Chains A and B, each alone.
Chain A
Amino acid sequence: MRVLVTGASGLLGGEVAKLLLRQGHAVTTFQRRPSGVAGATDVRGSLSDDGALRRAVAGAEGVIHLAAKVSFTGRAADFDEVNIEGTRRLLRAARDAGVRGLVFVSSPSVANSGAAIAGLGAEPADPAGAHGDYARTKAAAELLALAADSPELRVAAVRPHVVWGPGDTQLVERVLDRARRGRLPLLDAGAALIDTTYVDNAASAIVAALHRMDHIHGRALVVTNGEPRPVGELLAGICAAGGVPAPAWHVPGRLARAAGSVVEKAWLRAGRTEEPPMTRFLAEQLSTAHWFDQRQTRALLDWTPAVSLDEGLERLARHYGGR
C-alpha cells in the first residue's frame, strides 16, 4: 500500500519511511526539507498548507504522522499552529482522501504532570496537566486524532518514550555536548529509573501499529525498550559510547528544577533562540522515574523490540567510532 509519512526528515521519521520501503510499501514523505530517504516520493510543504497536504495524502491508504514542533522552548502560538492545527488539517485531508488508517506519533509526556511514572500504561492525554507547550499541544492533538477514529478512517496513537540512536540530536547529541562542556549533572545521584526506545524499535512499533489497526484503533500505546535503567547509568552509557567522560557532579533534583525554570525564563527574555542549558522539563525527565507497563503494547502490536539497550549502545559506539 502507499503510506504517507510526515516528518520523515527527522531521525525517527526517516527510519519509519525506510522500514516501510523495505517491507515493499510505496512511501510518500511530507516535510519542509528533503527527506533524504532514497526511494520515497517527497512532497515538500508545511502543515499549515491545506493544498500541499492534499497533494501529499493523495492515493495513500495509510498515514504516519510524525511532523511536529519539538522543542523545550518557543512561542506557545507556534506550537499550537504546528502541533494542534496541523494535525487537524492532516486529519481532514486524510478523511477526504479516503485514507484507511492513521498512526499519530505522540509522546508519553502528554499524560505526565511531573510525578514519577513507575510501571504505568498509557494514561489519557491531559493538555491541562502536561508540562510545557510541546507536551500540551501534543496532548491536545492526540485527543483530536483519537476522536477522529471512525470505521472509515481508523486512528491510533503511539507514544515512543525517549527515542535515541546514532544521528539523534534530541537526546544523544545534547547529552554528549553538555557532558563535554561539564554541564550535565547527575540529578539526585542519578537513581531515577528511565526507560528509553532505541530508534529501530520505535520505528518497527510504529509500522506495526499501522498493520495492527484492527486491534488498536482508538487507543494510545506507550512504546519503549522495556529496559528501565537508572538515569545516571544510562547517561554514562551514552557518554561512554560517544567517547566523552561521564558527568561526575550532582545537583539536587528540586534545586535543579527550580533553576531550570528560572534559567529558561531568563533565556527567553534575553531573546536567545538556541536551547538553554537546562529546562525544567529536562530536569524533571532526569530526576523522576519514567518507565512503563509494556505488556499490553506488546500484545496488541504483536511486536517486541529487536534491539536491546546494550546492543543499541554498541551501535552508538560504532557510530562514533569509539569501539
Chain B
Amino acid sequence: MVAADWPGADPAWSRELDVPSSSAADEPGTVRRWHLLDNGAELALRGLTPEGTLLCVHGNPTWSYLWRSLLAAGSNPARPWRVVAVDQLDMGFSERTGTFRRLADRITDLGDLTAALGLDGPVVTVGHDWGGVISLGWALSHRDQLAGVVLTNTAVHQPDGTPIPPALRLALHPAVHRWGTTTTPAFLQVTHALARRQLAPAVRAAFRAPYRGAGRRTGVGNFVADIPADASHPSYPALTRVAEGVRGLDVPALMLWGPRDPIFSDRYLKDLIGRLPQARVHRFEGAGHLLAEDRDIASPIFDWLADSLGPNGQFTPHPEATAPPNGQFTPRPEATRPPNGQFTPHPEATAPPNGQLTPHPGGAAWEPLWAPLTSLASGTAAGDTAVAEMAADRHTARSLSWSDLEDSITHLAAGLHDAGVRSGSRVSLMVPPGVDLTVVLYACLRLGAVVVVADAGLGTRGLSRAVKGATPDFLIGIDRALAAAAALGWSGRRISVRDLPAARRRILRVETSLDELTRCGASAEAADRLPAPAPDDPAAVLFTSGSTGPAKGVLYTHRQLAATRDTVAATLGIRPGARLVAGFAPFALLGPALGAVSVTPAMDVTLPRTLTARALADAAAAIDATVVFASPAALRNVLATASGLDPAGQAALARVELLLSAGAPVPAALLEEVQRLVPAASLHTPYGMTEALPVTDISLDEIRAAEADAAAGTVAGAGNGVCVGRPVHGARAAVVPLAADGTAPGDSPVTDPGVTGEILVSAPHVKDSYDRLWLTQRESVRTPGWHRTGDVGHFDAAGRLWVEGRLAHVVTTPGAAVTPVGAEQAIEQLDGVGLAAVVGVGPAGTQAVAAAVETEPPVRRAGPAAPELAGRVRAAARGSGVEVSAVLTVPSQPTDIRHNAKIDRTRLARWATRVLAGGRPGTP
C-alpha cells in the first residue's frame, strides 16, 4: 500500500483500524483489520469542528479511493465535514478474511466499524453500486444518528418480472463468474472502462492497486456471487429488508445518477424514487456508472447538505413535506419572499416601481384544464364540432362534437384506469397532433396520470434519451413509435392507438389499444369512479427542444397548465366560439381547454415545413376559422406554396382574425409577407419557452413601432435585439444585470431601460420544476419567486423587452460582455448576406469576436471571408458596438432540428475556434 501513488488523495487520510467482529461470518472474538480514508485527524489538526460525518461506502470492484473528492471538500474550513470512506472487508486495502461475506454480514461489518470508530453526531450515508444497499442497511439500524442518505448509481430491488441487467447476468454465469471476477482482472477493467471520461492512467492504476493478484480479488468474485438474482438466493431476505425498510426513512435524501450505466439504469432510479419520494434527484446526462469519476459530485452533495441540514449539522425536518412524488423542489412564490424587504408585495401593479420587482403572487383560484370542454359538452352547443382533423384529400378526415369528445375522454380515462394507469403514473404520448392525441391527453389528465411529451423533432437519439430518462410506466403510440420503443428498449407498458394484428402486437409487445380501452371504458360506469387530481399534483412533463444542450424534462402541475390556458385566453382574447387551425403542437392541445373549435391541417406536425398554403386554407375553410397557430418554419412553406391557393382558399384565409406564430424568432419581414395572405388578421408572435409559454407578446404593428423607435433613437433602450413586446397577462419579466464575465450573478431583478441581463419571469403558468434535474432546478429558481430563463435581453423605456440571445452565448471580450443578436441583425441587413451568427473564440474574459455569415449565393466551402465582405461585416457590427476580429463564410448555419431557426452558436463557436487557430475549415 503506497498512499503516495493515489492521485487526488492525501496520504494522511489513509489509516488502518482493528475492529472486533460481531458478524456471523466470523468466530466470536475475531478482530478484523480495516483500511479507510478519514479526514477526521486533519480537521482536528486544523482546529475545525465538523458539522457531521459522511459515511461513504464503495461498491464492487472499487474502494474508498472513489470518494477522494468528498474527503477534499469535507476539509473546506467554511463548512467542515468529517468524511469516512471505508474499504469493505476483502476489498480495497482491508483484510482478506478468507470468508464469504454476504449482504447481512457486510451491513453488520459496517456497524462494527462505526462502533469501533466511536462515530457520534449526525451521519449522512453515501453509497455507490452495491455499497448503496450496504449504506442503507447501516442507515436502517442507526436511525438515531442518521441525518440523510446519498445514493449514486445503485439499486435495492429488482423490479418484478424484469430480468437482471445482461452485463450482470454474464458476470454471474457459472462459466464466466470465477474467471471473469477473480482469476483475471476482467471485471475490474470493464468497470473502470465504464467511466465516460477515460480515467487518467495514474487514477486507473490507483483503482487497481488493491486488487493485484487473484488472491486479492476473492472479494470481488464473492461480491458478484452475492447478488440476489432471484428470491431463492441466500441474500434475498436481507436485500428485501433493506428495500422495504427504506420506505420508512424520512430523512433528506439525494440521488445523483449517471444514466449511461449498463447495470444501474434509470429503472432502478425510478424504483428508488418510489421508495424515497422526498429525494432530490439529479441525472447527469452523458455520465456513466462511475459517476464520481465523470462529474463533480462533491459540490452538489455539499450544497444539498447546506440546504437540507440545519446549522452545525443538526438534522432538521425536511422543509417541504409536500414535495411532489419525484421530489423536485417547488418554491411557492408567496412562501419564499426574502425577509429583507427587497420584494414588496405588490400584486396589482402593472408597471413595476423603480426597478425592484415583485414576483407574481400565485395561489389563485383554480378551474381544471378541461372545465370549458365539460361545460360546452353539457350545453346547447353539445352537438357542434369540437375537434377535427384534415385528410390529404382536402376533406375532413374525422371530427367529434363537444359531447362526443367529452364521452371519448371519459370512456378512455375509465379504460386506462382499468388497465392500471393511476394517479401519478407516467404516460408517454407518442401520437401525432389530432383528434386521437386530444382525447388521450385529456383522458390522462382527467385521471391524474402524468403525460410525458417529447416530440420527434428531437431526433431519434435525443428522443430516446428523453423517454428513457422520464421512465414512463406506459407508452401510448402510433405503430412507428411502438416499433422505436421495441427497438430502443424504452420502458413502459405499451398501448397502441389502433387495434393491431395479433402478430404485430406480439412483436411490439403491445398489451392493448386505445380503441379497445375506450370500448371497455364505455361499457363501465365510467367517470364517477375516477379520482380527480388535485391542483398541485403533477400533470405533464414536456421536453425542451434541446437546442442548447440535452433536452430537459419540464414538470407542470394541473394548476400551472390551467394557468397557461388562462394566460393565452386573456392575452389573445381566445374565448369559447373561437375556431382555430392548429398548426403548432403545444397550442393545438389547448383548443378544447379554451372552448375553441380546433382543426389539425393535413401535415406532418413534427415537420413544420410540410404545411402548405392549400392545406392551411382547407383546414381554415372546414371550420370557418378565426384563428391560426403556426410555427415560423410552417409559415415560410405556406408562403412558398401560396401560388397553389384557389379563390375559395384565399377567401377562407381572408376571414382569419388572428394569426399566431411561435416557437422561434419570427422576422418582421416574414410577418409582412404573411400579412398579405391573411389581410384581415392581427399578427402576433409571443415569446416564451417550454418552461413558460408565453412570457411576452407582440403584434406586427407593435414590431413596426418598436423598430421605428429603435431607428429614431428616441426611446431609451429601444434596439439591440429582437423586440418581443410586453409581458403577457399575469406575467412579470425582469432582468438580472450581466457582469463583465458573461454571467448574471445578482439576485435583484430590474427593468431599467437599456440594462442588459438574464431574463427572469414570474407567472402562474411558469413550470413547477425540471424533472430529475435538481441542480438545474436549483439554479433556475436561484432568485426566489422567479424563473431564470437563460436568455439575455433588456427593456426599453416603453416597457418592451428586447431579446439579445442566450446567456450561454454571451461573448466575453476584454472589459465587456457582448450579446450576439444586435450585431447579427445589423450584419443581416447587408446586401448578399443571409443568416449571421456572432460567437466568441478564446478564453473567457478575453475572447475575440468571430462572425459567421451565410452569403447569397452560398459559398461552396466554409472559410475566411474575402477582405471586402469582412470589411463590410466589421463596419456593420461596429455600428452596434461590437468589434469583430474574424469574419467567416459558411454554406449554411447549423440550426436546431425542431424549428430550423435557432442557430447552434455553441457548435459554431467550437468550429470557429478550431478554424481560427489554424485548423482546417471543414463543415461547421
Residue pair A232, B864 in contact (C-beta under 8 Å): yes
Interface residues of A in 184-240 (CB under 8 A from B): 187-193, 226-230, 232-233, 236-237, 240
Whether B221 sits at the interface, judged by CB under 8 Å, is no
Q: How far is the CA of A120 from the CA of B841 in the complex (A)?
A: 12
Is there a chain A Cβ closer than 8 Å to B863's Cβ?
A: yes
How many A residues, CB 8 Å from partner? 30
Do B867 and A237 touch across chains, with their CB atoms under 8 A apart? Answer: yes
Closest to A296 in B: B846
**A227 with B847, Cβ < 8 A, contacts A189-B921, A191-B915, A193-B841 known:** no
A118 touches B841 (CB 8 A): yes
Question: CB of B917 within 8 A of chain A?
Answer: yes
Return the chain A residue nearest B885 by Cβ: A228
Q: Once the chains bind, are B846 and A288 in contact (CB under 8 Å)? A: no
Cβ of A237 to closest chain B Cβ, rounded Å: 7
Which chain B residues numbered 776 to 832 have a C-beta less than 8 Å away from chain A?
Answer: 814-815
Contact indicator A193/B916 (Cβ below 8 Å): yes
How far, in Å, is B859 (CB) from chain A's closest CB? 12
Per the bound structure, the CA–CA distance linking A233 and B846 in Å amounts to: 21
- Assess A191 versus B885: contact at CB under 8 Å? Given A118-B917, A119-B848: no
User: Are A191's CB and B843's CB within 8 A?
Assistant: no
**Inter-subunit contact B848/A192 (CB<8 Å):** no
Task: Looking at the assembled complex, report how far the CB atom of A205 sits from the nearest CB atom of chain B, in whole angstroms.
Answer: 16
- Complex interface: chain A residues within 8 A of B919 (CB): 188
B888 CB-CB contact with A under 8 Å: yes
- Other-chain contact of A227, B815, B885, B915 (Cβ < 8 Å): B885
- Known contacts A227-B885, A229-B886, A291-B842; decide if A236 and B867 are in contact (CB<8 Å): yes
- Which of B848, B883, B913 has the most chain A CB within a 10 Å cutoff? B848
Give min CB distance, A202 to chain B, whole Å. Answer: 19
User: Is B495 an interface position by the 8 A CB rule?
Assistant: no
Across the interface, do B842 and A191 meet the contact criterion of CB distance under 8 Å?
no
B627 at interface, CB cutoff 8 A: no
* Complex CA–CA separation, A203 to B870 (angstroms): 29
B834 on the interface (CB 8 Å rule)?
no
Find residues 118-174 in chain A having any chain B CB closer than 8 Å to their own CB: 118-120
Q: Is the beta-carbon distance between B846 and A295 smaller than 8 angstroms?
A: yes
Supposing A189-B863, A191-B863 touch, asked if A253 and B918 sit within 8 A by C-beta, the answer is yes
Once the chains are docked, how many angstroms separate the CA of A291 from the CA of B846?
Answer: 10
Given A191-B863, A228-B886: A289 in contact with B843 (beta carbons within 8 A): no
Q: Tell yes or no: A293 within 8 A of B by CB.
A: yes
Q: Which residue of B814, B845, B848, B863 is within 8 Å of A193 (Cβ)?
A: B848
A116 at interface (Cβ–Cβ under 8 A)? yes
Residue of A nearest to B841 (CB): A118
A261 CB–B CB distance under 8 Å: no
How far, in whole Å, are A253 and B921 apart by their CA atoms in the complex?
A: 13
Q: Is the CB of A291 within 8 A of B867?
A: no
Q: How far is the CB of B538 from chain A (nearest CB, A)?
A: 46
Question: Which chain B positions have C-beta within 8 A of A289?
Answer: 916-918
Whether B920 sits at the interface, judged by CB under 8 Å, is yes
**Pair A193/B885 contact, Cβ less than 8 Å:** yes
A189–B863 CA distance with the chains assembled, in angstroms: 7
Q: How far is the CA of A187 from the CA of B883 in the complex (A)?
A: 25
Known contacts: A228-B885, A295-B815. The answer to whether A233 contacts B916 by CB under 8 A is no
The answer to whether B848 touches A191 (Cβ under 8 A) is no
CA distance A167 to B841 in the complex (A): 33
In the bound assembly, the distance between CA atoms of A244 and B814 in angstroms comes to: 35
For B814, the closest partner residue in chain A by CB is A295
Quick one: which of A116, A232, A233, A240 contacts B917, CB cutoff 8 A? A116
Interface on B for A, CB 8 Å cutoff? Answer: 814-815, 841-843, 845-848, 863-864, 867, 870, 883, 885-888, 913, 915-921
Sample of 12 more A-B contacts, CB < 8 Å, known A291-B848, A295-B846: A116-B917, A118-B843, A191-B918, A228-B885, A229-B886, A230-B864, A233-B864, A236-B867, A237-B867, A240-B867, A288-B918, A289-B917
A/B interface sample: 11 pairs, CB < 8 A: A118-B913, A191-B864, A192-B916, A192-B917, A233-B867, A246-B867, A253-B918, A293-B846, A294-B846, A295-B815, A295-B846
